[in-house]
Amino acid sequence: MIRKSLLAVATASVLPGVAQAQYIGGSAPPPPAAPAYGLRESPEASLSRHVRLLAINPRNYEALLGAGRAALALGDTQAAVGFFGRAEEVNPRSWVPKWGQGAALVQMEDPQAALQAFSAAQALGATQVSVALDRGLAFDLTGDQARAQADYRAALNGPDANEARRRLALSLAISGNKTEALKTLDPLLARRDPGASRCRAFVLALTGDVEGARSAVNAALPGLAGNLDPFLRRLPALRPAEKAAAVNFGHMPGAGGGQVAGVLPSGPRADRLADLDSILNSGAPVASPPVAARPSAPTWSPPQPVRVATVVPTPSTAIRPTPPPSAAPAAGTGFSLKRFWVQLASGNNADALNDQFRRLKLRNRDLLKNINGYVAEEPAKARLLIGPFKSVDDARIFADDLESIDVDAFSWTSAPGQMIRKLPDQ
């Protein structure tokens, strides 16, 4: 049976607005041909092509890796984790899936977990150059700039040398080494690299030269330095790990552990600063009001009481979440730690998911009896979930059981800090 969960990952999580592909009673259409040698393939086209390959063979290792890389390039870290996790199941001796998981975890701003994944990748044979670009960012996010810079220097010999040079300059500036940071950018500035111009502005701000940073912003984006001024002025006072999060992800510390500063995109890009123009032109806020700095180690708000899934066998052999009712969170309560779920559907209208879950329960009374639904709302879509489960393996087993009765489902992990609300009792 063709596993529809992989299609759901790609269409629901990575390409919102595209109808889910289902090939019931027939074969999937042939996938598009790979691009000719020397031609670049867009992440969207790459994802589409690899998902079509997975519709034909869900255990196609290269297609899983290709889909994972494309999801990373599109900034959908959850989908990337899913694809790389499947690839690891197919080929557990390869280091590439572990690298992919680590790269996604860095983008999710979970550097400690990312470092563990990179360590596992190296144990399986990955070289320093293979993991250096992403591991360097993980070290930066933990405040270990020395190791970060060693990795970025190694990555200068890899395929992403320009991005490694930008990140190295920012890391050097976080360490207070303004002269070497600017020297590092010189080759890119000589080629009029726009990312380097913006990076130079952050280097100046990180090292306390706010007026120089404002001038650099004005040179790249005339008249817009005033919008960015509060962000630039706060940078020098931040702790090293906070500086790394601010200039790489646009996250400025604030009440409750952190706020999005609205300066940089959260997804990975060849030029992480390339969206600064459109963000500033849109008039989006670029900084939160000055508040007390958070502790240097990344912290999250205390978790609300949540139910922890207990797995028990049922006559249908399913593993199901069966928590004591008293431990369930009240409607509207959010989960503040990473949790493991099964996704049943997604869409643009979060309110419609309640009716969709009710219909699913009516059609599958035995399997979904006493199970509550939850919704994760994101800017482009909302996800219908059940759970949480104790582990990703438990979530996958339950998703597989749903697949066996033709209910589209796949495991999904909520990021730390992501709000999940409970649907009203059915």
**Greater model confidence, 296 or 173:** 173
Domain final residue, candidates 299, 331, 352: 299
- What does the block give as tokens for 90? 């197919």
CA dihedral for 246, 252, 258, 263, sign (positive or negative): negative
Statement to judge: residues 316 and 220 lie in one domain: no
> What's the pTM?
0.58
The pLDDT of residue 133 is 96
Q: Is residue 9 part of a domain?
A: no
Closest CA to 14 of 40, 57, 55, 43: 43
Are 273 and 387 part of one and the same domain?
no
Q: Which domain holds residue 220?
A: 160-299
Residue 291 domain flag? yes
Residues of the chain above pLDDT 70, percent: 70
Higher pLDDT, 131 or 256: 131
Domain end among 266, 299, 332: 299
Both 294 and 315 in a single domain?
Answer: no
Closest CA relative to residue 54, chosen from 17, 16, 8, 118 = 8
pLDDT per position as a tens digit, 10-38: 333 333 322 233 333 345 556 667 777 77
Mean pLDDT in residue range 190-195: 86
Q: Parallel, antiparallel, or unpaired for β 259-260 and 251-252?
A: antiparallel
Question: Does 322 share its domain with 409?
Answer: yes
Residue 36 within a domain:
no
pLDDT confidence tier of residue 332, bands split at 50, 70 and 90: very low
Are residues 337 and 247 part of one domain?
Answer: no
Taking the C-alpha atoms of residue 32 and residue 46, their distance in angstroms, rounded to an integer, is 9
* Alpha carbon distance 99, 86 (integer Å): 13
What is the domain-level CATH number for residue 405? 3.30.70.1070
The chain-wide mean pLDDT, for the chain, equals 74
The amino acid occupying position 342 is: V
Instruction: Give the residues across from 408 on adjacent strands.
Output: none
Q: Same structural domain for residues 225 and 343?
A: no
The last residue of one of the domains, among 245, 268, 299, is 299
Residue 69 included in any domain: no
> For residue 378, what are the CA distances in angstroms to 258, 347, 383?
18, 10, 8
Q: Is the pLDDT of residue 360 over 90?
A: no
Establish if 119 belongs to a structural domain.
no
| Residue of 339, 308, 356, 357 lying closest to 420 (CA atoms) | 339
Give the pLDDT confidence score for residue 417 in this predicted structure.
Answer: 61
Q: Does a structural domain hold residue 150?
A: no
Q: How many CA atoms lie within 13 A of 305 on its CB side?
A: 9
Same domain? For 278 and 324 the reply is no
Question: What's the rounded mean pLDDT across residues 225-231?
Answer: 76
* Res. 224 pLDDT band, cuts 50 70 90: low
**pLDDT tens readout for residues 45-102:** 888 889 889 888 989 999 999 999 999 998 888 889 999 999 999 999 999 999 999 9
DSSP string, 104-155: HHHHTT-HHHHHHHHHHHHHTT--HHHHHHHHHHHHHHTT-HHHHHHHHHHH
Domain count, the chain: 2
Asked if residue 31 is part of any domain, the answer here is no
- 178 in the same domain as 277: yes
Query: Burial letters for 148-172: b for 16+ Cβ neighbours within 10 Å, e otherwise?
Result: bbbbbebbbebeeebbbbbbbbbbb
Residues ≥6 apart with Cβ < 8 Å to 246:
231, 234, 235, 238, 252, 253, 261, 263
62-70 long-range contacts, CB within 8 A, separation 24+: 64/90, 64/97, 65/96, 65/97, 65/100, 67/6, 67/10, 68/97, 68/100, 68/104, 69/100, 70/14, 70/43, 70/44, 70/46
What is d(CA 64, CA 82) in angstroms, rounded to the nearest whole number?
A: 9
Do 228 and 343 lie in one domain? The reply is no
Q: Are residues 247 and 342 in the same domain?
A: no
**Which of 135-144, 354-363, 374-383 is predicted most confidently?**
135-144
Residues 319 and 339 in one domain: yes
139 in any annotated domain: no
Q: Are residues 289 and 320 in the same domain?
A: no
